[in-house]
């Protein structure tokens, strides 16, 4: 999430023109909602929910990225006034249909979070709640779910170091022989947009973390779409596959 999105030091006048339009339709308990993923120059936070029947107003230079319950990603750019889910603003029709070939290609095996951490524990291709320590790139972390660190080679016991690039204290994680998965220590608090070096006997990788707010259902198409939009393709595909098989 950009600093521009997360900071709330805007003048009161900006809030008056950026946020929800003055005329707001009351929402019913069963009214569909959209989840805020990103935004620019707006007062919404990631994870906020906006009723689908609520009128929105965005001025020039303002934008919102929303996710519907079925995984549709909707981007609104100002100037805009209207409902938050106009058909013209839909970028992807259905996240499950769009990525079905990827899900099928991944195979039929699935994994369940909390499996025994051993040499046979499923890797990142089958479990969305696993961080692959052998590859650099984007990693999505749902703040309401426990994660495991996974290593490709579990032949020998090894120590792995998780080093925040911003200068935070390094954290060591120990893997026993024939163990491929170890839970992320409770002392680790992942920050959105933060980068971490993972140092192991096999080399060093760098990951960029994208967090998903705790209030969003972990096992959902909303979370899967969030993962995929943040370039966490392996995790997003694994989650979609588990949703299809559940």
Cα–Cα distances (Å) from 73 to 78, 125, 137, 209, 220, in that order, read 17, 23, 22, 20, 14
Residues 150 and 240 in one domain: yes
Boundary of a domain, candidates 30, 59, 93: 93
Is there a single domain that holds both residue 128 and residue 221?
yes
Q: Which of the pair, 90 or 156, is modelled with greater confidence?
A: 156
Do 35 and 102 belong together in one domain? no
Within this chain, do residues 89 and 100 fall inside the same structural domain, yes or no? no
Query: DSSP string of the chain?
Result: --HHHH-----HHHHHHHSB-SS-PPPPTT--EEEEEEEES-S--TT-EEETT--EEE-TT-EEEEE-TTS-EEEEESSEEE-S--GGGBS-S-HHHHTHHHHHHT-S----TT---STTS--TTT-TTEEETT--EEEEEETTS--EEE-S--SS-EEEEEEETTSPPPEEEEE-TT--EEEPPTT----TT-EEEEEETTEEEEEEEEEE-TTS-SSSHHHHHHHHHTT-HHHHHHHHHHHHH-
Mean pLDDT of 97-103: 51
Identify whether residues 186 and 79 lie together within a single domain. no
Residues 34 and 78 in one domain: yes
Q: How confident is the model at residue 167 (pLDDT cuts 50, 70, 90)?
A: confident
Is residue 209 over pLDDT 70? Answer: yes
Do 213 and 119 lie in a common domain?
yes
Q: What percentage of residues in the chain have a pLDDT greater than 90?
A: 62
Burial zone of 151 (CB within 10 Å; 0-12 exposed, 13-18 middle, 19+ buried):
buried
Residue 12, pLDDT score: 31
Q: What is the pLDDT of residues 105-142, one digit of tens each?
A: 444 333 333 333 333 456 888 899 999 999 999 999 99
Kindly state whether residues 166 and 237 are assigned to the same domain.
yes
Domain count, the chain: 2
Tell me which of 95 and 178 has the higher pLDDT: 178
**Could you say which of 62, 93, 124 is where a domain stops?**
93
Q: Cα(5)–Cα(147) distance, rounded to whole angstroms?
A: 26
Average pLDDT of the residues of the chain: 79
Residue among 235, 224, 220 at smallest CA distance from 139: 235
Q: What is the reported pLDDT for 132?
A: 95
| Predicted model pTM | 0.77
pLDDT digits (tens, 9 = 90+) for 23-80: 334 445 567 899 999 999 999 999 999 998 999 999 999 999 999 998 999 999 999 9
CB-neighbour burial class of residue 117 (10 A; exposed 0-12, middle 13-18, buried 19+): middle
Whether residues 84 and 130 fall in one domain? no
Structure tokens at 135: 């590859």
Domain that holds residue 66: 3-93
Lowest mean pLDDT among 9-23, 170-184, 205-219: 9-23
Are 119 and 85 in a shared domain?
A: no
- Give residue 30's pLDDT: 61
Please give the Cα distance from 167 to 62 (Å, whole number): 33
Same domain membership, residue 194 and residue 121 = yes
Whether residue 117 sits in one domain with residue 29: no
* The domain boundary residue, chosen from 93, 117, 138: 93
């Amino acid at each position: 999430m950009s600093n521009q999105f997360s900071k709330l030091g805007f003048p009161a006048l900006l809030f008056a023109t950026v946020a929800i339009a003055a005329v707001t339709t009351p929402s019913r308990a069963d009214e569909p909602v959209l989840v805020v993923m990103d935004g620019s120059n707006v007062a919404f936070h990631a994870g906020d929910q906006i009723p689908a029947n609520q009128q929105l107003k965005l001025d020039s230079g303002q934008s919102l990225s929303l996710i519907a319950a079925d995984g549709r990603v909707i981007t609104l750019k100002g100037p805009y006034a209207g409902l938050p889910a106009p058909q013209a603003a839909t970028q992807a029709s259905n996240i499950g249909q769009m990525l079905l070939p990827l899900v099928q290609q991944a195979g039929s095996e699935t994994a369940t979070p909390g499996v025994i951490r051993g040499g046979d524990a499923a890797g990142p291709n089958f479990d969305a709640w696993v961080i692959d320590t052998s590859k650099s790139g984007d990693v999505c972390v749902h703040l309401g779910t426990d994660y495991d660190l996974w290593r490709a080679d579990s032949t020998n016991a090894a120590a792995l170091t998780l080093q925040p690039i911003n200068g935070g204290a390094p954290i060591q994680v120990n893997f026993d022989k024939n163990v491929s998965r170890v839970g992320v220590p409770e002392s680790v608090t992942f920050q959105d947009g933060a980068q971490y070096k993972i140092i192991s006997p096999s080399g060093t990788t760098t990951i960029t973390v994208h967090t998903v707010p705790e209030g969003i259902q972990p096992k959902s198409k909303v979370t899967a779409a969030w993962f995929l939009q943040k370039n966490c393709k392996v995790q997003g595909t694994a989650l979609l596959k588990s949703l299809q098989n559940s």
